[in-house]
Amino acid sequence: MPTENNREDVLSFYTEIEESGGECIGFGNYKEYDLWLSGMQKRFAGKDLPEGYVRENFYLCYDKEILIGVFSLKFTLIQSLLNFGGHIGYAVRPSERNQGWAIQILKQGLTPAKQFNFDRVLCVCDEDNYGSEKVILKNGGVLENTLYDPDEKVVVKRYWIHL
Ligand SMILES: CC(C)(COP(=O)(O)OP(=O)(O)OC[C@H]1O[C@@H](n2cnc3c(N)ncnc32)[C@H](O)[C@@H]1OP(=O)(O)O)[C@@H](O)C(=O)NCCC(=O)NCCS
């Protein structure tokens, strides 16, 4: 869970994501770190959440001193998450990609999921996100189906990982 101490690392992580032309989980209003942090704390507590948000644990993943990735575990599958979002989210900073980090991050993220008594978790990726699909498959994902997301105008693949 991020704290005040992670301010510079979080800013640098999301700036790198932004400069690479992307967005990812936890991006939000990261530039206003105090607001961002209080939003994350509310999600963690599952209290005072904006509509459409559910309780969520958000993890910063470090290799030594470097924030290499982020991981999130959501606790309730409201309809939009059941269809298109899933329980799990992750991202790796662009300069650290293709070194196996995402496979490790998801693997390690399954441990808290087990501790919170999940018996399976839903991972959803865009049909053409081959990297993410590989990460899910390497962690034992079993395809349930593909669905069209009319808001994002993409086809998604829905995988369950049994714990
Ligand atoms: C998807 C993402 C998390 C992968 O992170 P990563 O650390 O580069 O992934 P890994 O190094 O663990 O690689 C996983 C596997 O996918 C492969 N892979 C990675 N990117 C790929 C791509 N664009 N196309 C095809 N395969 C790819 C890797 O070669 C590796 O396979 P291997 O073990 O057989 O060599 C990263 O690209 C990212 O953060 N993307 C933006 C956010 C995102 O899409 N999150 C997932 C939302 S569902």
Domains, the chain? 4-162 (3.40.630.30)
Whole-number Å distance between alpha carbons of 58 and 90: 10
pLDDT at 90: 98
Cα torsion 101, 106, 110, 116 to 10°: value is 110
Specify the ligand 1 atom closest to the Cα of 24.
Answer: 42
Whole-number Å distance between alpha carbons of 98 and 114: 27
Whole-number Å distance between alpha carbons of 32 and 11: 9
Whole-number Å distance between alpha carbons of 155 and 148: 4
Other residues' Cβ atoms within 10 Å of the Cβ of residue 6: 16
Whole-number Å distance between alpha carbons of 101 and 109: 12
Using the mean position of ligand 1's atoms as its centre, give its distance from the Cα of residue 133 in Å: 8
Instruction: Provide the total of helices (H) and of strands (E) in the chain, helices listed first.
Output: 5, 6
pLDDT at 143: 98
Among protein residues, the one with the nearest Cα to ligand 1's atom 22 is 131
Whole-number Å distance between alpha carbons of 10 and 17: 11
Mean residue pLDDT of the chain comes to 97
Q: What is the pLDDT of residues 49-86, one digit of tens each?
A: 989 899 999 999 999 999 999 999 999 999 999 999 99
Q: What is the pLDDT of residues 100-148, one digit of tens each?
A: 999 999 999 999 999 999 999 999 999 999 999 999 999 999 999 999 9
Ligand 1, CB cutoff 6 Å, lining residues? 22, 24, 90-92, 97-103, 125, 129-132, 134-135
Whole-number Å distance between alpha carbons of 55 and 74: 6
